[in-house]
Amino acid sequence: MNAGLYYATIIFVCLATVVIALWWLYGYRKSKKANSLLNPNNLNEESSVKNSEESEAVQKAIQNFRMSGLNHIFSEEELELIHYDKPSQITGILSYFSTSLFDKNNLDDVLWDIVENCISHLHLEDCVIYILDNSKKVLIQKAAFGNKDKGERTILSPIEISLGQGIVGQVGQSGEYECIYNVNYDDRYVVDDISRNSELAVPIIIDDKVVGVLDSEHSQEGFFNEHHILLFQLIAKLTAKKLSQIDLKNTSNITNDDVYFKELHFLMKEAKIYRDSSLGLESISKMLKVSSKYLSQMITKLNGSNFADYVNKFRVEDAKSKLKNPKFSSYTVLAIGLDSGFNSKSTFYTAFKKYTGISPKEYRSTTFETQ
């Protein structure tokens, strides 16, 4: 073999090797791509990512709605603090507080609702609201939850604290909150039902005057933190706003009904929560962080219909869309009704005929005849 042929052979082998390598790489990538499309685990992962992104978008929109609903109650500075603390948790709690108070128009109902909800939503051991008696210059326990609650909204051995006396009395006098890490090192601490280790007391202020104190104690040393302080201050302001309405005999809501209704409508249109056949007033009120009684009355007021009719309208529109969609031609009429959120054939047919005047089967036949 001469030198020229030798080098030509070497070059040919090298080129062949490169071609084979490139062909293998192309085939590998193509196969990998195909496997990723066919592999249900990968599809599930992609679907999961997409669902997660959609869920985050929905949650962000809900958060914006809730912040809008609090605009007319709290200042920009307070809303800014909410934004940098735990916005989702705080707005949820405040939304529930404000809506649970919407139908309360006397002092006792408002105060008892506040302390009961403080316990259930903030997981506190104890919560007491004191109201100032100006004539005696004392703070009187008006509502309590925990050991002080003897049932039927009555307080066990209610106490009175003079302004300046104890931690609560000091807050009532100064108008400034007190957060005590360990009350055992504070001579001002007044034992009520039992001795505890930490305490948070926040003033309730109307027109720059202290009218009461929101107080909580806990057995854990250092239990209360900046998050609790912010929440208590916001709840105290919410309480003050409601109490001032009662004093003025103003029965208007402290809530922004339009904002909550828009949030509900958003969940229906975008998240399509109506497709859940078990959806009820209680489950939606938990999603919106509002009281179920408020939700029911809000729907009636702003939509002119009851809760069931409001939800069923969305389900009927969803079913109509599917009945005329060729992609669902293989579905039975009943399957489409169940897929749209109805839980039985009878409720589906009854609701559908109520809003369209014809049965789902007739609607599908008419639609395909005109196409």
**Tens of pLDDT, residues 257-286:** 677 788 888 889 888 999 999 999 989 888
How much of the chain exceeds pLDDT 70, in percent? 65
Sequence spans of domains, the chain:
3-38, 103-247, 305-371
pLDDT of residue 107: 84
What would the pLDDT profile of 184-193 be if each residue is shown by its tens digit? 999 999 988 7
Query: Which residue type does 165 have?
Result: Q
Q: Does residue 25 surpass a pLDDT of 50?
A: no
Q: 294 falls in which pLDDT band (50, 70, 90)?
A: confident
Residue with tokens 């008419």: 366
Q: Does residue 23 surpass a pLDDT of 50?
A: no
Confirm if 160 and 138 have CB atoms less than 8 A apart. yes
Fold entry, domain 305-371 = Arc Repressor Mutant, subunit A (1.10.10)
Cβ-based neighbour number of residue 215 at 10 Å: 27
Confirm if 360 and 346 have CB atoms less than 8 A apart. no
Q: Does residue 314 surpass a pLDDT of 90?
A: yes
pLDDT of residue 259: 73
Q: What is the mean pLDDT of the segment spanning 155-159?
A: 80
What would the pLDDT profile of 139-150 be if each residue is shown by its tens digit? 999 988 877 665
Query: Average pLDDT of the chain?
Result: 77
Cα separation, 90 vs 73, whole angstroms: 14
pLDDT of residue 256: 58
Q: What is the mean pLDDT of the segment spanning 320-326?
A: 92
Q: Which of 60, 83, 89, 69 is nearest to 228 (CA)?
A: 89
Cβ-based neighbour number of residue 153 at 10 Å: 16
Query: Which residue type does 16 have?
Result: A
Confirm if 83 and 66 have CB atoms less than 8 A apart. no
The torsion defined by the Cα of 110, 115, 117 and 118, in degrees rounded to 10, comes to 140
Q: What is the mean pLDDT of the segment spanning 332-345?
A: 95
Cα separation, 272 vs 282, whole angstroms: 17
pLDDT of residue 118: 64
Query: Which residue type does 175 have?
Result: G
Q: Does residue 67 surpass a pLDDT of 70?
A: no
Fold entry, domain 103-247 = Beta-Lactamase (3.30.450)
Cα separation, 287 vs 310, whole angstroms: 17
Q: What is the mean pLDDT of the segment spanning 8-13?
A: 46
Q: Where are the alpha helices (DSSP H) in the chain?
A: 3-38, 40-69, 76-84, 87-100, 107-122, 166-174, 226-247, 257-269, 281-288, 292-303, 307-323, 333-339, 345-356, 360-370
Confirm if 200 and 213 have CB atoms less than 8 A apart. no
Confirm if 78 and 240 have CB atoms less than 8 A apart. no
pLDDT of residue 304: 87
Tokens of 128: 């007491």
Which is higher by pLDDT, 252 or 137? 137
Q: Does residue 5 surpass a pLDDT of 50?
A: no
Confirm if 366 and 352 have CB atoms less than 8 A apart. no
Cα separation, 77 vs 282, whole angstroms: 33
Tokens of 118: 């403080």
Which is higher by pLDDT, 15 or 293? 293
Cα 366 off chain centre by: 42
Q: Which of 183, 188, 132, 135 is nearest to 160 (CA)?
A: 132
Q: 254 falls in which pLDDT band (50, 70, 90)?
A: very low
What would the pLDDT profile of 210-230 be if each residue is shown by its tens digit? 999 999 999 999 999 988 888
Strands 160-162 and 178-180: unpaired
What would the pLDDT profile of 41-63 be if each residue is shown by its tens digit? 443 454 454 455 555 666 556 55
